[in-house]
Structure formats: structure tokens, C-alpha cells
Amino acid sequence: MPDVYPGLLSKNLKIKIYRTIILPFVLYGCETWSLILREEWKLRVFENMVLRRIFGPRRDEVTGEWRRWHNEDLNDLYSSPNIVRVIKSRRMRWVGHVARMGEERGCVGSWWGNRRERVHWRDLGVDGWIILGWISRRWDVGIWTGLG
């Protein structure tokens, strides 16, 4: 991602471009992903790389030398949840939609699979099992629909 005209776009505009174009492109379909720790790490590396390009180098106040931003500093500057938190919140929101749909809709079978055969249960991953356990323990129509 080379900077052709480094001073042409402001940092706020670059952040808006990141939030409106790059993130939706990267996170398309993330509701169904089962991430392992290595993939989460790669996503965080990608996000930090993009944020370093947006904010550019930093001059050290003490020595006056140019240096790269540390991850904590980038998180403070960006002031939005990191990419892994966004994925997990979208997954929770999606699971809520699926749980509210009921069995009369055909979409449930595509994620849950055939419950008698239990073919797709192995593919849920660790996060999927945690979410599924949470739903089964906390299932309350009032909570999901807002009527309670």
C-alpha cells in the first residue's frame, strides 16, 4: 500500500476510508468464521499495518528520532475496537438472529446442519461452541425479543 501522494489525504479521511471500504471488504462473511489464534493474530497484524500507514512515522520527543508506532499507541489513536472484537461482536449478533428465526425458516438448516446427523457440529470451532453453549444456557424469549 504505497503512498503515492502522502500529504494529499488527511488522517481523518484515511480513517474513514479504512472504516467504510477496507474493513467491510476484509470482514465480509466474518459472522460464519471460526478463527484460531493464529488467524486472529494475522488480522491484528494487518490492522496495525494499515494504521501505521495511516498515522505515518512518529518523532520521539526525547531523542528526536523517527520511529514506528507501538501497538498500544495505535490502539489509543484509533479509538475503535480492534478487528477481532468487531468479528466476535458480529458473530454474537448473527447468532442472535439465527436463534430468533426459529425452525420454520430454511436458513437455520444451512448453519445448524441436520440436527439428527450432527455433521456440521464438528466445524463450529471453539468460539462456535462457546456461543452455542451461551445461547442454550441463556435462552429467554424476553431477552432476545425485548418483550421481557
Domain ranges of the chain: 11-82, 87-145
Q: What is the pLDDT of residues 65-75, one digit of tens each?
A: 888 888 888 88
**SS3 state at 137:** helix
Q: b/e map of 7-41 (b: 16 or more CB within 10 Å)?
A: eeeeeeebbeebeeeebeebeeebbebebeeeebe
What's the number of CA atoms in the CB half-sphere (13 Å) around residue 71?
7
| Least-confidence region, from 3-7, 8-12, 71-75 | 3-7
pTM: 0.62
For residues 40 and 42, what is the distance between their CA atoms, to the nearest angstrom? 5
Mean pLDDT calculated for residue range 50-66: 86
| pLDDT of 5 above 60 | no
pLDDT for position 60: 80
Q: What is the pLDDT of residues 17-34, one digit of tens each?
A: 899 999 999 999 888 888
How big is the CA angle at 96 (ends 121 and 85), to the nearest 5 degrees? 85
| pLDDT of 95 above 60 | yes
